[in-house]
Amino acid sequence: MRVYISFGSNIGDREQQINEALNKLQQVRDTELVTVSSLYETAPVGGVIQDDFLNGAAIVETSLTPIDFLNEIQRIELELGRERKVHWGPRTIDLDVLLMDDYIIEHERLNVPHPYMHERSFVLIPLAEIAPEAVHPILNKSIKELVTVDPEVRRYK
């Protein structure tokens, strides 16, 4: 199964946190990291006052079930100090499943496609860099059709 994920960090050494998360992702059983986008610096969303994020996207291939894959990325978040204290608050690392092939999943722990991905430039811009032809299975539009230019999403380095 091809899985598209987004990642972000805004606590501590953001780039280091992301690199550690990607290294751990490469070690997940039955999973291969295929490609990773550039990093983008973005303002936080959700109204919580906090530092800017570094965000990006990645594609992985896995034979894990959707919930097993979710368990693995949540384990990585915990290992890197992720605390879920404030909704949309600061975090050492955030790993979100965006798409899983063309699956539509409604589960108490996992919604695919990600319910907000089509509204968030900080998700769509990095994803369009590595997977412009990927299709949102509910909207039936490609990522390149969904993405818009956003001056608030700046390429990092």
Structure-block tokens of residue 21:
């998360």
Given the residues 30, 91, 101, 120, select the one marked as catalytic.
Answer: 91
Residue 75 is among the residues annotated as catalytic for this protein: no
- What pairing do the DSSP bridges indicate for beta strands 2-9 and 135-136? unpaired
Given the residues 30, 94, 150, 155, select the one marked as catalytic.
Answer: 94
Structure-block tokens of residue 29:
């059983």
Residue 96 is among the residues annotated as catalytic for this protein: yes
Given the residues 82, 84, 102, 109, select the one marked as catalytic.
Answer: 82
In this structure, are residues 106 and 118 in contact, taking their beta carbons and an 8 Å threshold?
Answer: no
DSSP the chain: -EEEEEEEE-SSSHHHHHHHHHHHHHTSTTEEEEEE---EEE---SS---PPEEEEEEEEEE-S-HHHHHHHHHHHHHHTT---SSTT---S-EEEEEEETT--EE-SS-EES-TTGGG-HHHHHHHHHH-TT-EETTTTEEHHHH----TTEEE--
Given the residues 14, 29, 68, 96, select the one marked as catalytic.
Answer: 96
Residue 155 is among the residues annotated as catalytic for this protein: no
Active site residues: 82, 91, 94, 96
